[in-house]
Amino acid sequence: SVYDNQQVASVAVAARIAALIRSKQSKGQKAVLGLATGVTPIGVYAELVRLHQQEGLSFRDVITFNLDEYYPMKPDAAQSYVTFMYENLFSHVDIDKANVHIPDGTLEQDAVAAFCLEYEHKIEALGGLDLQILGIGRTGHIGFNEPGSAPNSGTRLVTLDDLTRNDASRDFGGKANVPTKAITMGIGTIFKAREIILMAWSKKKAPIIKKAVEGEMSGDVPATYLQLSDNVEFVLDEAAASEL
């Protein structure tokens, strides 16, 4: 879907998340959400906070799994995705901390593989992700699945692309401070979600959205693999859709 601007698009995505949470709650079940970071979903999280504060939306029975985290990364660092998620969403709603899952950037390297396997198992044990929201990086990455990622990849440690580290350099006060690695859910992990929403706003994302939607499917642009799934919706503003 294409919306006039990112504000109305964000409100629409938040409304879908809220409807999912409420429908699960009415059946006595827990919604399992896959969440993303970056500037793209900030408006969605702001609207979810508003729905919590003003319209009684409760996150008590909501379970979340974040897509990724830099590696290494301390959770209390300003640039960590833990900090991002608490600042933009979790600190403002009634979610139970025990239900929040974010890849652990503090592990020793030899403990990462077991952690990643366990991350997958936890998602499966809860019946899988009901909804995964995604942004897209200019390399065509989803999560931190950079070019070369396999369509059936699982949660794992990856090396970040140069362009991704350039784009992150502002947050870190210089590219040299941007970690070279990250832990990310795989493309295969993302694919198992029952519903996937990829959001993109602004002219800056128009070329990669054109490639992702209309380009030939290829590991060079990991987001093109989304063309394989029937459960994916692209939610765009006019600017991001302008090259389609």
Q: Active-site positions?
A: 146
DSSP, res 120: H
Toward ligand GLP, which CB reaches closer, 99 or 164? 164
In the complex, what is the shortest distance from the CB of residue 177 to ligand GLP, in angstroms, rounded to a whole number?
Answer: 15
Toward ligand GLP, which CB reaches closer, 60 or 204? 204
Q: Which of 68, 74, 39, 76 is nearest to 160 (CA)?
A: 68
Q: Cα separation of 237 and 80, whole Å?
A: 27
* Angle between helix 81-88 and helix 42-55 axes, rounded to 10 deg: 40
Toward ligand GLP, which CB reaches closer, 59 or 71? 71
In the complex, what is the shortest distance from the CB of residue 14 to ligand GLP, in angstroms, rounded to a whole number?
Answer: 16
Question: Where on the phi/psi map is residue 229: left (φ > 0), alpha (ψ -120 to 50), or beta?
Answer: beta
Give the footprint of ligand GLP on this chain (CB under 6 A): 36-40, 67-68, 135-137, 143-144, 164
Q: Helix, strand, or coil here: 83?
A: helix
Q: Cα separation of 205 and 189, whole Å?
A: 24
Placement of tokens 């006019």 in the chain: 238
Toward ligand GLP, which CB reaches closer, 57 or 190? 190
Q: Cα separation of 58 and 151, whole Å?
A: 35
Question: Contact 236/2 with Cβ under 8 angstroms?
Answer: yes
Q: Helix, strand, or coil here: 62?
A: coil
In the complex, what is the shortest distance from the CB of residue 161 to ligand GLP, in angstroms, rounded to a whole number?
Answer: 9
In the complex, what is the shortest distance from the CB of residue 54 to ligand GLP, in angstroms, rounded to a whole number?
Answer: 26
